[in-house]
Structure 1
């Protein structure tokens, strides 16, 4: 049986994509995973501190949702330029700039005296997160082929929910000292930056056609449909982990207990994250697996909001969230050619950040409107249900593309 681990995809004289000394592709994915872990923790820190920030940095739940969503707002503007920067400057400067800005924005948030300054800090961090996210996805797609793409992408992507779960466990340890939680998050990003500085030596040079600053005509519709799916899927995940602690506290749980239960979402995604997508690819039914998992996620969130045991439904939600994350990115890799990959990642993540910026405030607004702590979870279930339409459009669009154009 052929191995799912293809040979090296680039580099001269045995050099890998990142390093002069050649860590190996899987080790390099691990370095990116550490940086993405710090990004997940930074995204989640506002949600984990939620009740403590009401009346301090945020006036109400809608404002808290805006603080959560502001992290992604900069990505709406920066995603396409980030793809262009990747094509012009290479991986190393873009990745280092991204994680450095994450650390800077985290420090601004930690010292912020009011909502406006806090929003500014989240925007700076969001610019950094955009650069890291797009560069990391392109790096994996550049160096892996076949089922190994799903496995490598899953390894990198799983660091984000792991960071989210870690924040939900660590933040309650600071008690009422919410600024310490913000400083912890900023310090995590700075640590990741230092690790990248000493590890990533050189950007990869890819031979072949020069990068395009547009897509081929047949790539637009399937990629835009995937962008809608990627936005809705990730916004639903962010709303689930961001509003679940408050939902559980409203039901009588302590902050520590609520954080522990909510962290099950982030940690339960880990067992299937590296392998679920690769297995679906090997079995030849990646689209069916994606649809089935999203339907299950909708059911798990609805059951949680309606009073089902959270210790059961939250891990189920996280477990089912694992395969779609890598498979959606695999679908994107199949749509894009090598010369459109950088720009295409910018297009995909423009929609991704639109969803993350706009949908969490909608969930917070639904909470304010209804007064129900479970309303944001039902809103997240609705976001996921809409993803099924995007998957149908993507599947139909790819079926109509001539084989020679794929």
Structure 2
């Protein structure tokens, strides 16, 4: 297969499986309390554990990818996702559940890093933003499918865990048989020594924006169902309305960033969308009807996704991509490992079901504060 858009579709399908696996704990959350998690902080830890292992493997993965190639890292990642999913489905308590989430998280990290580099190698110029959007849209698609399908299993939370593991195993097949072994047209030999000095500042600041923005998105998805259940909603209804976040992001995610770039206002669109996302969460906390605000939250989350990833891409030259994506995803997974447990702890400490959503608002504020830092540092980077 040599068509780069067909290759992108295969990568996106694997990311759908990754999104579904990531969200399986959040979607089944209330059912796991008392079985795999003792309290809400432990539930948040299981959510964050998927990302915790990425902190340790992201940087080495970038180095390994430079030596062994993208495809090998990609296949290893999907295999570990399936293995970790099986361990989680067999778990009888928190310890084994953590082990399963960590193993599958390592696989998810390898998949994410390889996918991002492969897209940057295959697309550039006007095609980059829509290609990144198509890659990114797969993850919330998987999350949304988890939120809708898993509650239909009722109290059979273990069946939901097995279903997630099976989807990951199934995604290995098209990657093995249909994805070519060659590198993309924009690939270049990795630079010895990693990044140029001028690339560190823009990369780290863009990584901070990406990490806190994604943490807010994940916390909203993971904890909104519990907020609604505390107000008398059934778990099925709460999961269904929360899935509006994931499905709201879908229409604009492939092209929202490209449209903002065409308008010549990518930074203004990014800042405006994040501010409005925070406002939507405040409206839900205030007790307003959740469905329009959660849908709006998802729609508004779309344009910043590809725009911020494009900022990361612009911070890196082609020889720096393998190592640079390892650095970027170290920051990303560090944020997702540390911040959801803090959101869960906020509920345990305050006793307020909506406390995690307030934490998500704070995360968005920090992401916004990092935008001017990126602009200042990027302006100093040589062309």
TM-score by length of 2: 0.98
Which of residues 308, 320, 323 is equivalent to 1:340? 320
1:294 paired to 2:274: yes
Name the SS for the 2:71 alignment partner.
helix
Q: Deviation of residue 196 (structure 1)? A: 1.1
SS of the equivalent of 1:137 reads helix
On the 8 A contact 1:306/1:374 being kept in 2, the answer is: no
The answer to whether the 8 Å contact 1:98/1:132 transfers is yes
1:272 is matched with which residue: 224, 249, 252?
252
Tell me, in whole angstroms, the C-alpha distance in 2 between the residues paired with 1:62 and 1:341.
Answer: 36
Check the 8 A contact 1:103/1:189 in 2, yes or no. yes
Does 1:251 pair with 2:198? no
1:13 aligns with none
Paired with 2:349 and 2:281, the residues of 1 have a C-alpha distance of 20
Give the one of 93, 106, 110 matched to 2:85.
106
1:7-406 maps to which residues of 2 (within 5 A)? 21-22=1-2, 24-204=3-183, 208-401=188-381, 405-406=382-383
Which segments of 5 or more consecutive residues in structure 1 lack a partner in the other structure? Answer: 1-20
Conserved? CA contact 1:213–1:340, under 8 Å = no
The alpha-carbon deviation at position 27 of structure 1 amounts to: 1.1
- Secondary structure of 2:194's counterpart equals coil
CA distance in 1 between counterparts of 2:58 and 2:273 reads 28
Structure 1 pair 346–159 and aligned structure 2 pair: CA distance change class (3 A): same
Q: Distance in 2 between matches of 1:195 and 1:372?
A: 45
Match of 1:11 in 2: none
Give the whole-Å Cα distance in 1 for the aligned partners of 2:191 and 2:173: 30
Q: Is the 8 A contact 2:84 2:102 kept in 1?
A: yes
Size of the aligned set, in residue pairs, is 382
1:384 shift after superposition:
0.6
Whole-angstrom CA distance in 1 between matches of 2:235 and 2:13: 27
CA deviations over 1:341-395 (Å, ceiling 9, x no partner): 1111111111100100000000000011111111101100110110011111001
Q: Is the 8 A contact 1:140 1:153 kept in 2?
A: yes
Q: Give CA-to-partner distance per residue, 1:102-131, whole Å, 9 cap, x none.
A: 000000000011110000000000100000
What are the ranges of 5 or more consecutive residues in structure 2 without an aligned counterpart?
Answer: none
**d(CA) in 2 for partners of 1:80 and 1:158?**
24
RMSD of aligned alpha carbons: 1.1
What are the Cα deviations for residues 11-59 of structure 1, in whole angstroms up to 9, with x where unaligned?
xxxxxxxxxx32x111111111110001111010001111111000100
CA offsets, 1:200-223, max 9 Å, x none? 131317665543442111111111
Q: Distance in 2 between matches of 1:210 and 1:27?
A: 26
Contact 2:121 2:184 in 1 (8 A): no
- Work out whether residues 40 and 164 of structure 1, in 8 Å CA contact, stay in contact via their aligned partners in 2: yes
Q: Hey, what's the Cα distance between the residues in 2 that align with 1:208 and 1:335? A: 16
- How far did residue 77 of structure 1 move? 0.5
Distance in 2 between residues matched to 1:349 and 1:392, nearest whole Å:
21
Deviations 1:243-291 (A, max 9, x none): 0111111111111101110100000100000000011111211111111
**Cα shift at 1:312:** 0.6
Please say if residues 143 and 246 of structure 2, whose CA atoms lie closer than 8 Å, have aligned partners that are also in contact. yes
